Amino acid sequence: MQIRIVGVVGCGLMGSGIAQVCAESGFDVIVREMSEELLKKGLGRIDSFLAKSVEKGKISAERKAEVMSRISGTTSLEALAPSHIVIEAATENLEAKREIYKALDAACPQGTLFASNTSSLSITELAAVTRRGARFVGLHFFNPVPLMKLVEVVRSPLTSAEAFEEAFAFAKALGKTPIRANDKTGFVVNRLLVPYLLDAVRALEEGVGSVVDIDEGMRLGCGHPMGPLTLLDFVGLDTTFYIANIMFDEFREKRFAPPPLLKRMVQAGMFGRKSGMGFYDYSADAPKPSQGLV
Ligand SMILES: NC(=O)c1ccc[n+]([C@@H]2O[C@H](COP(=O)([O-])OP(=O)(O)OC[C@H]3O[C@@H](n4cnc5c(N)ncnc54)[C@H](O)[C@@H]3O)[C@@H](O)[C@H]2O)c1
């Protein structure tokens, strides 16, 4: 099937980025959020990303208008029915995603390709609630989607070779570099990254170093573009917490268990950049380490 229309479920951090890159690559995009308010916020995120690109002289105002004109918003899942592919980027919660897929399966024609951006849930388990296991893949984008080149294309035991290749070609059409992964929790990147991020929180908990020491240590000592606690603030502490729980549940290995400090921060609503506070406080112009973490 030739993909021209892309449906996106969720217009949060990832969904807004996915909608943006699809529209930038010439696809028509329909994005669904839970409420008009969340939709406005998500579309506003795309608008301000593009506005900054105009300010920096990277794109013209006409190009911004053209990209925005390809994106339409809705609060109805049924409105995604004309899509040739639906990419789901809703909150990392199995029950919530299963409900979404049941409703999408009823609303979309049998040929529509379904893709989940899940970081840690089983593609097989999600596909199993639909009648289209053969046309169900993982398309795991990275944050921030407009800047990060990688997409993990994930196959479940049910995925057909044809659907997998369609998804792989679609990722390339977005200007991304896809890699192939099997449906093992965390796929390639999070399997290696999540234990590292959790260890950084444990190092902070155990007083090995301060927030700044840990971040500067990994940035300057290992040549990483940013430290692990800064990265956690970008990814979202809530999202990382969900992912760690799912990975721990799957592998029962201590290295995947979320440390108590991460749990407390999530309980406190300290989700990172998106809530204005995480390991750093973003209320002033320059982020500074948050007070009272350990
Ligand atoms: N944050 C990251 O760095 C990252 C990276 C790769 C993949 N992911 C995955 O992407 C997905 C989304 O993560 P995020 O970071 O964008 O989270 P987020 O909290 O920023 O956004 C999730 C959005 O989904 C919306 N939503 C929830 N239920 C919905 C429904 N039924 N219909 C439509 N919208 C719904 C929420 O209102 C919210 O705006 C998760 O599966 C996550 O694991 C996240």
Amino acid 28: pLDDT: 98
Q: Verify whether residue 182 is a known catalytic residue.
A: no
**pLDDT tens digits along 166-182:** 999 999 999 999 999 99
Distance 206 CA to ligand 1 centre (A): 31
In tens, the pLDDT along 219-261 reads 999 999 999 999 999 999 999 999 999 999 999 999 999 999 9
Q: Are strands 85-88 and 177-182 parallel, antiparallel or unpaired?
A: unpaired
Q: Which of 11, 13, 76 to mutate to test the pocket of ligand 1 (most atoms within 8 A of CB)?
A: 13
Q: Which of the following is catalytic: 116, 120, 156, 190?
A: 190
For residue 243, what is the DSSP state? H
* pLDDT tens series, the chain, 294 aa: 799 999 999 999 999 999 999 999 999 999 999 999 999 999 999 999 999 999 999 999 999 999 999 999 999 999 999 999 999 999 989 999 999 999 999 999 999 999 999 998 999 999 999 999 999 999 999 999 999 999 999 999 999 999 999 999 999 999 999 999 999 999 999 999 999 999 999 999 999 999 999 999 999 999 999 999 999 999 999 999 999 999 999 999 999 999 999 999 999 999 999 999 999 999 998 999 999 887
The DSSP code for 269 is T
> Is 152 considered catalytic here?
yes
Residue 192 exposed, middle or buried by CB count within 10 Å (0-12, 13-18, 19+): exposed
5-25 exposure pattern, b = at least 16 Cβ within 10 A, e = fewer:
bbbbbbbbbbbbbbbbbbbbb
Question: Does the active-site annotation cover 66?
Answer: no
Tokens 């990722």 belong to residue: 171
Tally the residues of the chain. 294
Ligand 1 atom showing the smallest separation from residue 14 Cα: 16
pLDDT score, position 30:
98
CB distance 13 to ligand 1 below 6 Å: yes
pLDDT, residue 292, reads 85
Question: Hey, what are 59's tokens?
Answer: 């794109």
Q: Is the alpha carbon torsion for 259, 98, 46, 142 positive or negative?
A: positive
Residue nearest to atom 2 of ligand 1 (CA): 235
Element (H, E) at 42: helix 36-55
- CA-proximal residue: ligand 1, atom 3 (nearest): 235
User: What are the φ and ψ backbone dihedral angles of 242, each rounded to 5 degrees?
Assistant: -60, -45
* Residues 114/104, Cβ–Cβ less than 8 Å: yes
Token reading at 259:
């440390």
Q: Is there a contact between 161 and 187 (Cβ–Cβ < 8 Å)?
A: no
288 forms beta bridges with: 281
Q: The tokens of 211 are what?
A: 């927030």
C-alpha dihedral over 15, 88, 269, 278, to 10 degrees? Answer: -50
Q: Whose structure tokens read 């090995």? A: 208
Q: Which of 46, 86, 91, 238 to mutate to test the pocket of ligand 1 (most atoms within 8 A of CB)?
A: 91
User: What integer pLDDT is reported at residue 294 of this predicted model?
Assistant: 73
Which DSSP helix (H) or strand (E) runs through 44? helix 36-55
